[in-house]
């Protein structure tokens, strides 16, 4: 099953990109590049969905 999520990306004062998915509680990560952020957010979404499934 495919789901579509909103992704909010901001850049902090240190230059890191911070990504969060508002639909999933606690689903956020950060990285130095946008490519790295996209890889990390995919992993975090999977983990958040797994936690959501088992709760």
Domains, the chain, ordered by start: 8-54 (3.30.160.250)
Q: Is the pLDDT score of 55 beyond 80?
A: no
CA distance 37 to 29: 7
Q: Which two tokens stand for residue 34?
A: 């946008």
Q: Is the pLDDT score of 53 beyond 90?
A: no
Is residue 45 a contact partner of residue 30, using CB atoms and an 8 Å limit?
no
pLDDT tens-digit map of 5-44:
999 999 999 999 999 999 999 999 999 999 999 999 999 9
Confidence of residue 2 (pLDDT cuts 50, 70, 90): confident
């Amino acid at each position: 099953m495919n789901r579509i999520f909103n992704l909010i990306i901001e850049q902090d004062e240190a230059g890191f990109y911070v990504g969060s998915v508002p639909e999933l509680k606690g689903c956020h990560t950060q990285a130095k590049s946008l490519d790295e952020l996209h890889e990390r957010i995919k992993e975090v979404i999977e983990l958040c969905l797994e936690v959501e499934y088992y709760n």
